Amino acid sequence: MGVRTPVGAFAIALILFLIQSGFAQQGSLSSREQRSALLDLRSSLGLRSKDWPIKADPCSSWTGVKCNNGKVIGITVSGLRRTRLGRTNPRFAVDSLANFTLLATFNASGFALPGIIPDWFGQRLSALQMLDLRSASVIGPIPQSLGNLSKLNTLYLSGNNITGVVPSALGNIAELVILDLSRNSLTGSIPSGFASLRNLTRLDLSSNFLSGQIPPGLGTLTRLQFLNLADNSLTDSIPVQFGNLSQLLELHLSKNSLSGSFPVELRGLRS
C-alpha cells in the first residue's frame, strides 16, 4: 500500500537511483571490448589470478584497476608479481591499453617492462594525466609523440636506461606539474621550450649526460619548488634569472661543469 502513495514511490525511486549510481560509479565493467582488452593485458603482462581473478568483475575486484561509470580510468601494476611464465620473458607489451579511451593514470613503477615506450602512447592515450614508469627497465628514446598528451600533469620516467635526447615536444604539455627524467642516459641539451611549462613545481633531470647551457628561461617557471639538474655535463654559468624562482625550496646543480660567478640574484630565494 505504501508503494502506491507518491511518497512511497518517490522513496523507492530514490533508493533505486542511489543503488544504480553507486554501482555505476565504482564498478561492473560495462564494456565488452574493455573487458577483452583487460584480459589481453593480463596475459601479455603475465599477471596472476590472485591479483586479477578472471571470473570477478575487474572494476571491483582487480588490484590496481580503477573505473568510472563502468569504464577503466586507471591501471596500477606497480607492486604486482608476474606468474612464473610471465617472469621468463617480460616485455613492454601493453598494446591493449590503447582500448581504454578514458585511461587517466598508468602506473608501472618498479614493474619490469623491458622495452621501448611505444610511439602510439602519445597518439592513443589522449586522456592520460599521470604516467609513472619509474625503475621499470625501460630502454630506448622518449617518443616525441608524448608531447601530444595535453592532459598529462605527472610524468615519471626516472631510474631506467632511457637514451637519446630530451624531446623538445615535452615543452608543449602545458599541464605538466611534475617532470622527472632523472637517472637515465639522456644526452643533448635541456630544451629551451621547457620555459613554457608554467605549472611545473618539480623538474628533475639529474644523473644523465645532458650538456650545454642551462636555459635561462627556466627562471620564468615561478611555481618551481624543486629543481635538480645535478650530475650532468652542463656548462656555462648559472642563469641570473633563477633569482626569480621565488617558490624554490631545493636547487641541485652539483656535479656539472658550470663556470662563472655565483649570481647575487639568488639571494632573493627566501624559501
Ligand X SMILES: *[C@@H]1O[C@H](CO)[C@@H](O)[C@H](O)[C@H]1NC(C)=O
Binding residues for ligand X, per CB under 6 A? 33, 36-37, 40, 76, 78-79, 96, 98-99, 107, 109, 122-123, 130, 132, 137, 144-145, 147-148, 154, 156, 159-161, 169, 174-175, 198-199, 219, 240-241, 243-244, 265
All three cell numbers of 229: 639538474
Residue appearing with cell numbers 577483452: 36
The smaller minimum CB distance to ligand X, of residues 23 and 201, is found at: 201
Separation CA 245–CA 242 (nearest Å): 5
The smaller minimum CB distance to ligand X, of residues 116 and 174, is found at: 174
CB of 32 to ligand X, least distance (A): 8
Contact 261, 240 (CB under 8 A): no
CB of 20 to ligand X, least distance (A): 26
CB of 43 to ligand X, least distance (A): 11
Residue appearing with cell numbers 602510439: 120
C-alpha distance from residue 124 to each of 19, 99, 104, 105, 203 (Å)? 34, 8, 12, 13, 25
The smaller minimum CB distance to ligand X, of residues 58 and 122, is found at: 122
The smaller minimum CB distance to ligand X, of residues 80 and 229, is found at: 80
CB of 161 to ligand X, least distance (A): 4
Contact 208, 188 (CB under 8 A): no
Beta strands in the chain (DSSP E): 65-68, 71-76, 105-107, 115-116, 130-132, 138-140, 154-156, 161-162, 178-180, 202-204, 211-213, 226-228, 233-235, 250-252
CB of 248 to ligand X, least distance (A): 13
The smaller minimum CB distance to ligand X, of residues 31 and 235, is found at: 31
